[in-house]
């Protein structure tokens, strides 16, 4: 389904119950709403679920960039306005967790809780060249230029070696991401700088991270946990960056436990 918000069309899907608390899912860079399939299956009988494609991804529009995290947050809040949804529990992974922080800091009245997964609150100066290299690579050679190193960051070696269907799904989603959308969102991510404002967040917050996440390591989540008052931290064993896909049962158990306490 499509909704016009913030001057563009955002693609979204609604699953589960017709009434009750809404759980909103925000995906990572280079994927789309399909990455949440294991969570949809686990939660749809208990909650109303809203999944959407960030601008530049999936079936949403791909406007000219660069984008900002504040702009991506405004897209999401605009989607809630169109759908008549006042508040949500936000589940965001990687880029989705960064957008979550932008919503929490700029539109806190729209959130009931935060679930920040395999994400960060700041991109340091020393990481800027890495992001520039990624942007340059896809502009010159397309998304395939980053595919293998990305998969190796996102999944543990043993999981990747088995090459289960979920790896093929992510491979396809990554390759189908429009270059312009990837670059627009990468420009937003590289300017991430919310670390010193995390203490402003007073919402119930769960932070989850894969024990072997190289992109946003455990110590990054531990620092976020220290700065967000009364936040909970769950470290998921045998998982890298896409912990929701590599260890869905452990991820879903922690997510459901948190939601049961906050709905």
Residue-level pLDDT at 193:
98
Rounded to whole angstroms, the Cα distance separating 255 from 20 reads 17
Q: What is residue 38's predicted lDDT score, i.e. its pLDDT?
A: 98
Query: Which structure tokens are listed for 80?
Result: 């809630």
Structure token digits, residue 161:
């070696």
Give first-to-last CA distance, the chain, whole Å: 27
- Residue 7 is predicted with a pLDDT of 97
pLDDT at 99: 99
Burial state string for 18-32 with b = 16 or more CB within 10 A and e = fewer than 16: eeebbbbbbbbbbbb
pLDDT band at 154 (very low <50, low <70, confident <90, very high): very high
pLDDT tens digits, residue range 178-195? Answer: 999 999 999 999 999 999
pLDDT at residue 55, as a whole number? 99
Angle at 43 between CA 105 and CA 98, to 5 degrees: 25
**Whole-number pLDDT of residue 254:** 99
Structure confidence at residue 72 (pLDDT): 99
CA distance 248 to 126: 33
- Interhelix angle 69-83/179-189, nearest 10 degrees: 110
**Distance in angstroms (rounded) separating the CA atoms of residues 30 and 56:** 9
pLDDT band at 125 (very low <50, low <70, confident <90, very high): very high
2-262 has which CATH code?
Answer: 3.40.50.1820
As a whole number, mean pLDDT of residues 73-83 equals 99
Distance of CA 207 to the CA centre of its chain: 12
What is the Cβ-side half-sphere exposure of residue 23, based on CA atoms within 13 angstroms?
27
Q: Give the model confidence (pLDDT) of 211-256 as tens digits.
A: 999 999 999 999 999 999 999 999 999 999 999 999 999 999 999 9
Q: What is the mean pLDDT of residues 27-54?
A: 99
- Tell if the pTM clears 0.85, that is, is over it: yes
CB 69 within 8 A of CB 99: yes
Q: Which two tokens stand for residue 232?
A: 């909970």
pLDDT at 136: 99
Domain ranges in the chain are 2-262
Rounded to the nearest integer, the mean pLDDT of the chain is: 98
């Amino acid at each position: 389904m499509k909704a016009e918000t913030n001057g563009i069309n955002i693609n979204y899907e609604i699953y589960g119950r017709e009434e009750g608390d809404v759980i909103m899912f925000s995906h990572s860079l280079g994927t789309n709403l399909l990455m949440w399939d294991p969570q949809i299956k686990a939660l749809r009988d208990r909650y109303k679920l809203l999944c959407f494609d960030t601008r530049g991804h999936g079936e949403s529009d791909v406007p000219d960039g660069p984008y900002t995290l504040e702009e991506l947050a405004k897209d999401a809040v605009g989607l809630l306005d169109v759908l008549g949804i006042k508040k949500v529990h936000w589940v965001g992974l990687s880029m989705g967790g960064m957008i979550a922080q932008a919503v929490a800091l700029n539109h806190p009245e729209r959130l009931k809780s935060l679930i920040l997964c395999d994400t960060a609150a700041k991109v340091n100066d020393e990481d800027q060249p890495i992001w520039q290299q990624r942007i340059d690579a896809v502009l010159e050679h397309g998304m395939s230029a980053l595919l293998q190193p990305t998969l190796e960051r996102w999944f543990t070696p043993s999981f990747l070696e088995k090459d289960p269907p979920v790896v093929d799904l992510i491979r396809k989603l990554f390759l189908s991401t429009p270059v312009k959308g990837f670059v627009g969102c990468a420009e937003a991510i590289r300017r991430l700088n919310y670390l010193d404002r995390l203490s402003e967040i007073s919402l119930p917050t769960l932070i989850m991270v894969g024990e072997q996440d190289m992109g946003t390591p455990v110590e990054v989540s531990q620092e976020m946990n220290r700065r967000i008052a009364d936040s909970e931290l769950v470290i998921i064993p045998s998982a890298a960056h896409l912990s929701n896909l590599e260890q869905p049962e452990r991820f879903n158990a922690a997510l459901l436990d948190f939601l049961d306490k906050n709905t």
